[in-house]
Amino acid sequence: MPDHGPLLEAAGLTKTFTVRRTVRGGTRLRALDGVDLTLGRGETLGLVGESGCGKSTLARVLLRLERPDAGTVRYEGVDPFTLSGAELLAWRRKVQMVFQDPFGSLNPRLCAADLIGEPWLTHRGLVPTSKRAARVAELLEMVGLRASDASRHPHEFSGGQRQRIGIARALALEPEVIVCDEPVSALDLSVQAQVLNLLCDLRDELGLSYVFISHDLSVVRHLADRVAVMYLGKIMETGPTEEVYERPRHPYTEALLSAAPSPVAGGGRKRQRILLTGEIPSPADPPSGCRFRTRCRQVRDLCAEEVPAPPPPGSAHGAACHFPLEEAPPVAV
């Protein structure tokens, strides 16, 4: 079982980008707006939501690829944005990433051995030059490839094999946390299952922690210990995976689950399909109060007047909703 003590924490993360002026006059897009989350050691946190909700921006902030406008990130109590030089280089080893595109993320001119060993050119003291070939062979076999594949180039591999090389490259620095940004969305279903099982095995064998980003609810349920649901830059609901899937508390989560195939959404029980209606807001001009209110079937006056309190970032199950589903009065349909 994972240790749910905080390994990685984010509090109040806000990130805004300047965009072209919209029809309504907005020029500032707030991709993240007060995001809180925690990741325990050995835990997998699933991050789900529609395209454009801020999942990838959050990943980039956690990896220190983007600097937040406000809020803090702490890794074992240390803010990585305060680090520099050797301290920053040491921190970089601990947090790695697996990308969505298993072809575009690999340099086509390099063979598998060079791709996997490339991080060692920066972190020179980790693996001696004389032992790098053996370590590459070990990593290839760890991700289900052959040591003889070391001399092959990306175009000689299938999509699933390329993603395995990407995973091996992430493991080369012996990280503690891997951020997976839609790592199986570009793969066939049968290959998705193989890569997901590989990630599970590596987590158990190496004690890894994952932030797993996906729009596919079945994928997240298979892998994640906890789930965070995002909408327009905010966390709408968090909690243990089975609790969120079986008893969603936010109307947005309920709608997402109702759109999934019934064996995924309800353990074999058929869910009533909930069609989201109303206006889809622009991230550059979000609604007042609750951001989901323009599409919510149980909206009240309060939803436009006050921003709901965010859900707890830890293991407790909660939702950023004035009228959570368990407490909501009946709504005429």
* 274-307 residue pLDDT tens: 777 777 788 888 899 999 999 998 899 999 999 9
Q: For residue 265, is pLDDT > 50?
A: no
In this prediction, residue 312 carries a pLDDT of 86
Helix, strand, or coil here: 41?
strand
Q: What per-residue string of b and e applies to 172-185 under the rule 16 or more CB within 10 Å gives b?
A: bbebbbbbbbbbbe
In this prediction, residue 74 carries a pLDDT of 96
Q: For residue 259, is pLDDT > 80?
A: no
Q: For residue 4, is pLDDT > 80?
A: no
Q: For residue 138, is pLDDT > 60?
A: yes
What average pLDDT does range 208-212 have in this prediction? 97
Task: Name the strand (E) or helix (H) holding 95.
Answer: strand 95-98
In this prediction, residue 319 carries a pLDDT of 95
In this prediction, residue 1 carries a pLDDT of 45
The mean-pLDDT minimum among 149-163, 221-235, 255-269, 278-292 falls in 255-269
Q: For residue 330, is pLDDT > 50?
A: no
Distances (CA, A) of 211 to 45, 127, 293: 5, 26, 28
The mean-pLDDT minimum among 41-50, 141-150, 220-229, 280-289 falls in 280-289
| Cα atoms in the Cβ-side hemisphere of radius 13 Å centred on 226 | 26
End-to-end Cα spacing for the chain = 43
In this prediction, residue 164 carries a pLDDT of 96
Q: For residue 165, is pLDDT > 70?
A: yes
In this prediction, residue 21 carries a pLDDT of 64
The tens digit of pLDDT for each residue in 49-76 reads 888 899 999 999 999 999 999 999 999 9
What average pLDDT does range 74-92 have in this prediction? 95
In this prediction, residue 266 carries a pLDDT of 47
Q: For residue 315, is pLDDT > 70?
A: yes
Q: For residue 78, is pLDDT > 90?
A: yes
Q: Rounded to whole angstroms, how far apart are CA atoms 322 and 188?
A: 40
Radius of gyration of the chain, Cα coordinates, nearest whole angstrom: 21
- Phi and psi dihedrals of 45, rounded to 5? -105, 115
Task: Say if residues 41 and 5 touch (Cβ distance below 8 Å).
Answer: yes
Task: Name the strand (E) or helix (H) holding 297.
Answer: none
- pTM metric for this prediction: 0.89
What average pLDDT does range 102-117 have in this prediction? 93
